[in-house]
Amino acid sequence: MTLRLNHPVVPVLLLALVAVLPYTRGLAYPFVYDDLGSIAENSFLQEPGAWGRVLSGRTLTDPAVPDGRRPAVVATYLLDRALWGLRPAGYHAGNLLLHAGCALLFYGLLRRLTGGRFIPFGAALLFALHPVNVEAVQSPAFREDLLVGLFGLAFLLAACRRDAWGWLAVPLLALALLSKESAVAFVPLLGWVWLCFPEARPGRARMAGMGGAAAALALGAAVLWWASGSVQALRGGPDGVGLAFPRNLWTAPALWLMALRRLALPWPLLVDHVVDPVDSWLALPFLAGWAVWAGWIAAAFALRRRAPDLALALGWMLLAFLPVSNVVPLFNPFAERYLHLLAPGAGLLAAGLLARAPSPRTRAVLLAALAAAGAALILARLPDWSSNEALWRKTLEQEPRSARAHTWVALDLKHRGAVGEARRLLEEADRLNPQDTSALINLAVLAGQEGDLASAVERLREATRRRPDKADGWWNLAVALHQLGREEEAAEAVRRTLEADPRHPAARAVTAPAAE
């Protein structure tokens, strides 16, 4: 049996292959960055009752469980843990499958909406090969962005059906919301899809029922997040990075410009973008961002009837940006993984413009050129994820204001024996972000290792004052006090460690004999 090039399955197979192929080198890479805390050092994944807690939703209100408010993500980690143990290749392979699934669902959605071939294939291809996706695709710790994309796209696809299967949209949206909070964007996005493509509407009664169910799910999720205290930095972020009110509102339009710039010109790519807060509605970044917003919205509505594909693309990008706009402040104001939901809109916009090229040959050549450029940038970026050293040295080189990069590079230097240089970088990290405590704790550890326990205790006291909710500060303080023979104070520090993190393995090991 031969497969003709114009067979409907050919673009599906090609998209799946293209989505995965540029990332295969990364299968051999180890856990880095947040993979360590979310997976490798996550003691919850080893607990006997972990599956029961996830499936019953009890992790939603347990801040001690990493990613507990996103149980769909934790469930995939538990599955990976059962299949692969702590072998990173299996986790990376899971991310690649999710990424390919997103590309295929996006293709299927556009095929249903437009009925054409070039725009659906071109948009899905450019989405699959957009370099801003590297962070979400390569790091299992950021799998939530892939999952919310997968379930959200499946939600849209189901909601555009006219048969009984269309009601699958409701549980699919629930899964998206259980993957990441940004899934709320799919509720207004569904309305925009129906507005741009009236033929995709399932009928007034179905639209009302489905729209009401989707809105109720999103509202219920928001209430749950608020009650569990997990609405990002809305209630304050003590790390010195999140944007406090009203800076979050003044800075949102500037972040929109940052997002458009990364989507249009995705280089250089880095894991820690230092955001310059905007302090006034009269500042140029605020005014420029609002001007672009206004033009964007006007263009979307103007194109809705005569170019619905372009209108959908513009609306998609804007609606997908809203959850990461920092109107609700985020702990991390801007990250490339946030753009994973915007990238389909960017791919559709590019493909829609290419479809207006004067000849099929021209548009095919331009699409191939853009796809090749995206693949080349992915291949160029991927080696940065080969180790923590490579990732953070590149970040420090590209963003010298990053306190995180200073701290991570310092830890690598310390491991290599370059203690003096490590101390210098840690001191600079503490200067760049005096509200965080990671650098300060590591400076205390250095002092303790050099025998200056008094200085170590002083630094650790300061760290616990800044961040009383951070277990590492209390635990290291307990160790230093124990070495000084101040056992009563050390015991109190151990108690505070467990208060901050009831699953802290070292603190639990210390208290276990006493409990027996």
Write out 238-301 in H/E/C secondary structure.
CCCCCCCCCHHHHHHHHHHHHHHHHHHCCCCCCCCCCCCCCCCCCCHHHHHHHHHHHHHHHHHH
* Mean pLDDT (whole number) for 89-97: 98
Please say if the pLDDT value at position 11 is more than 90. no
Average pLDDT for the chain: 92
Please say if the pLDDT value at position 367 is more than 50. yes
pLDDT in tens, 475-501: 999 999 999 999 999 999 999 999 988
Q: 448 is written with which tokens?
A: 């303790």
Please say if the pLDDT value at position 304 is more than 70. yes
Please say if the pLDDT value at position 3 is more than 80. no
* Mean pLDDT (whole number) for 18-38: 96
* Mean pLDDT (whole number) for 99-122: 96
* Mean pLDDT (whole number) for 456-480: 93
pLDDT in tens, 372-420: 999 999 999 999 999 999 999 999 999 999 999 999 999 999 999 999 9
Residue-wise over 404-415: b if at least 16 C-beta within 10 A, else e?
bbbbbbbbbbbe
What integer pLDDT is reported at residue 244 of this predicted model?
A: 86
What integer pLDDT is reported at residue 516 of this predicted model?
A: 45
Q: Are 208 and 52 in contact (CB under 8 A)?
A: no
pLDDT in tens, 212-243: 999 999 999 888 878 776 555 444 454 657 88
CA distance 478 to 484: 10
* Mean pLDDT (whole number) for 460-472: 93
What integer pLDDT is reported at residue 235 of this predicted model?
A: 46
pTM of the model: 0.92
Letter for the amino acid at 263?
L
| Burial (CB count within 10 angstroms: exposed 0-12, middle 13-18, buried 19+), residue 168 | middle
Closest CA to 91 of 39, 159, 54, 147: 39
| Band of residue 111 on the pLDDT scale cut at 50, 70, 90 | very high
Residues of the chain with CATH 1.25.40.10: 388-515
Query: Under CATH, to which class is 388-515 assigned?
Result: mainly alpha
pLDDT in tens, 167-190: 999 999 999 999 999 999 999 999
* Mean pLDDT (whole number) for 438-444: 95
Please say if the pLDDT value at position 332 is more than 80. yes
